[in-house]
Chain A
């Protein structure tokens, strides 16, 4: 079975500053990794995904993430955040060899201050 840990429950940052949201996973088989974003009072939407190939993945709204197999991490980054990036961010992992049903982390609340 796979598991995912989001190391920070809350990340405050000032507008136009860079940000990194951390995600580590555990799995005995190959994994597929995702970041979802949840804006206030909305459902989750897919931000980006890593299935195979290049370890640097670019998503919507200027976000990117890097798959690091040796460190079992998939951290999300943005070089310059906006107020509108304030949201809850979820990392998710799915594993090969089974049903692929993903496991979600507990979420990181990104709070962007003016």
Chain B
């Protein structure tokens, strides 16, 4: 089954404690991205990756890091989480550059709470 998986689905942590949210897709997609969803703000893109070892900032990259060492994985790293990073996070993937980017497959989401 074609899918995007994220782990963990729920996470409560404390300020400053480094964490990683994993994302994996089994569709051989080149493009992957991370979004955060906040009430009233919709989806905002954090980082995206056009292919292995190619990443770029989205609209709200501050406080986040990503890496793309393998095609299927795109982890989101919070080196020193702060309460304003409490949010619902989604990973998404799609086929290669061009129009394919536009129709994305989304993971189930990770609800992060930073105390």
- What is the interface size of chain B, counting residues whose CB is below 8 A from a CB of the partner? 24
CB <8 Å contact, A90 and B109 = no
CB <8 Å contact, B42 and A34 = no
CB <8 Å contact, B40 and A9 = yes
Assembly CA distance A32 to B103 (angstroms): 10
> What's the least CB distance linking B5 to chain A, in Å?
10
Q: Which of B43, B99, B108 contacts A90 (CB 8 A)?
A: B43
CB <8 Å contact, A32 and B102 = yes
CB <8 Å contact, A101 and B42 = no
- Tell me if B4 counts as interface (CB < 8 A to partner A): yes
Assembly CA distance A102 to B44 (angstroms): 10
Q: Which of B5-45 contact A (CB under 8 A)?
A: 33, 35, 40-45
- Tell me if A74 counts as interface (CB < 8 A to partner B): no
Tell me the nearest residue of chain B to A102, going by C-beta. B102
Q: Which of B42, B98, B102 contacts A49 (CB 8 A)?
A: B102
Tell me the nearest residue of chain B to A36, going by C-beta. B106
CB <8 Å contact, A43 and B101 = no
Tell me the nearest residue of chain B to A104, going by C-beta. B43
CB <8 Å contact, B102 and A94 = yes
CB <8 Å contact, B90 and A43 = yes
CB-defined contacts of B106 to chain A, threshold 8 Å: 36, 43-45
CB <8 Å contact, A34 and B102 = yes
CB <8 Å contact, B101 and A94 = yes
CB <8 Å contact, B42 and A106 = yes
Assembly CA distance A43 to B4 (angstroms): 10
Assembly CA distance A43 to B105 (angstroms): 9
CB <8 Å contact, B102 and A44 = no
CB-defined contacts of A51 to chain B, threshold 8 Å: 99, 102
CB-defined contacts of A106 to chain B, threshold 8 Å: 40-42
CB <8 Å contact, A107 and B97 = no
List 7 interface pairs A-B (beta carbons < 8 Å), by A numbering: A42-B109, A46-B104, A100-B99, A100-B101, A101-B33, A105-B42, A107-B42
A residues near B (Cβ < 8 Å) are 6, 9, 32, 34, 36, 41-46, 49, 51, 90, 92, 94, 99-102, 104-107
